[in-house]
Amino acid sequence: MVGVSGKRANGEGSIYPYKNGFAAYVWVDTPDGKRKRKYVYGKTRDEVHDKWIRLHTEAKKGPVATRHRTVAAFLAYWLNEIVKPNLAPLSYVSYEGSVRLYIAPHLGTKRLDKLSVRDVREWLNKLAVICQCCAQGKDAKRAPGRRKCCAVGECCEAYPSRRVVQAARDALRAALTHAVTEEEIGKNVASLVKVPKPRRRRIKPWSVAEAGQFLADGAARDDHLLAAWVLVLTLGLRRGEVLGLTWKSVDFEAGELYVDHQIQRAGREILHRETKTEESDDFLPLPALCLKALRIRRAQQTGDRKAAGDLWQDGHGLIFTTKYGTPIEPGNLTRMFALRARRAGLRAIPLRNTRHTCSSLLVALKVHPKVAQRILRHSQIAMTMEVYAEASEEDVRRALGKLSEAMGGTG
């Protein structure tokens, strides 16, 4: 770097004492085509010299930014260039919402490299007590006659939940992790701030008798979603997985179901996309009850197609559709499940809270333990046998009897 005369070549910059340490600069070409000085700082000369060497190397490779980005500018870059092309659409929607509503309004103007642990902690504490109706102007967007709280000076205290606060912190942490990877900052300050974990409300799952009553009621009413409820309760499928099933997913001869797609709501779009990971894809054996329900569903859909005529849309060959062949909105399936539970005279449980009931129903259907192990994805057969040991033979017979009658006999 230094010639025989002791002088540095033109454009190499220099190292000099600065405040309580040292500083150095290098002339670099900026992204906008200008020639500017880029500075580095440190407590010792050796530390600054190492940074100075790295900066020289970076400058030789191409343009170098001389000004640090704000948090808002980096988050916009992260969402559009990193999250959107590489993560699932639902992840982008979640991160984008957290950035737009909760992070950028409070931390957006701060310099990325100056963001501190204290800044993040104070932001999270403040966020937890900010009425989001006021902050987002929700009441002000309503028609004048319907305004009832923040817009008329009566705060409704719609504070974000613990889950929302945690999601905002997690989004910032994910963004800063990438900033560290790209060497824009030295450490991830968001990962050093803890937030209280949201408490999950524990809900008692349905018993075999309750699940049997629910399915029997659906069968008696010729429910077009009966097969969906059967698959959820006997195979433990997720909401999106059930809605994403196509007729190509079912092998009636082998008695198997291949799960590899799902329906998701991502912003304003409904997407039919692959499951999250390859590990989520699986061939699941279908108990006789499932096969019978799917045959009933196939006949129902044939009737729907004839009734719809030219209005029928058959984009993906989905098993569960509206009466016009279009995908079912995931949120609507959740509401339909709750509605049918009330109609059957049962206590309401979330649709996602059916997995434990699924294991009990497999016992009720007398599915072989090794088959049940595959369906439940237990690593050890002993786990499956524990479930089988819990079942009451009386409950089994009663639930199956009602269900068999409602579906016109098993088979």
Q: In tens digits, what is the pLDDT along the chain, a chain of 411 residues? A: 444 333 444 444 578 888 888 888 888 887 667 888 888 888 888 888 888 898 888 888 877 766 678 999 999 999 999 999 998 888 888 999 999 999 999 999 999 988 999 999 999 999 999 998 888 888 888 888 888 888 888 888 888 888 999 999 999 999 999 988 877 787 899 999 988 877 667 778 788 788 888 988 998 888 999 999 999 888 888 888 899 899 998 999 988 888 888 777 766 767 666 765 444 446 778 888 889 999 999 999 999 999 989 899 876 789 999 999 888 888 899 999 999 999 999 998 888 877 777 776 776 666 666 666 766 666 666 666 665 555 555 555 555 555 555 555 544
Neighbours of 208 (CB within 10 A): 25
* Residue 87 DSSP SS3: coil
Long-range interactions of 349-356: CB distance < 8 A, separation 24+: 349/203, 349/204, 349/205, 349/206, 350/203, 351/232, 351/239, 352/238, 352/239, 353/203, 353/205, 354/205, 354/206, 354/211, 354/232, 354/233, 354/236, 355/205, 355/236, 356/205
Helices 208-220 and 355-364, axial angle in degrees (round to 10): 80
Please tell me the predicted confidence (pLDDT) of residue 148.
85
Please tell me the predicted confidence (pLDDT) of residue 343.
93
2 DSSP assignment = B
Give CA–CA dist 313/322, Å, rounded: 10
CA distances from 293 to 146, 162, 277, 328, 374 (A): 46, 41, 28, 18, 21
310 DSSP assignment = G
Give CA–CA dist 301/314, Å, rounded: 11
Residue 190 and residue 112 in contact, taking contact as beta carbons nearer than 8 Å: no
For residue 29, the cross-strand partners are 35
For residue 21, the cross-strand partners are 18
Give CA–CA dist 322/330, Å, rounded: 12
Residues in CB range of 109: below 8 A, 6 or more apart:
70, 71, 72
| Residue indicated by tokens 């077009």 | 224
79 DSSP assignment = I
- Work out the burial of residue 202: count CB atoms within 10 Å of its CB; fewer than 13 is exposed, 13-18 middle, 19 or more buried: exposed
CA distances from 214 to 159, 234, 239, 295 (A): 37, 13, 17, 19
Give CA–CA dist 111/338, Å, rounded: 48
Please tell me the predicted confidence (pLDDT) of residue 33.
76
> What amino acid is encoded at 184 in this protein?
E
Give the CATH number of domain 71-192; options: 2.160.10.10, 1.10.460.10, 3.30.230.20, 1.10.150.130. 1.10.150.130
Residue spans of the domains in the chain: they are 15-61, 71-192, 208-406
Residue 236 and residue 358 in contact, taking contact as beta carbons nearer than 8 Å: yes
Topology of the domain covering 208-406: hpI Integrase; Chain A (1.10.443)
Please tell me the predicted confidence (pLDDT) of residue 263.
74
Integer-rounded Cα radius of gyration of the chain = 30
Residues in CB range of 76: below 8 A, 6 or more apart:
none
Residue 230 and residue 216 in contact, taking contact as beta carbons nearer than 8 Å: no
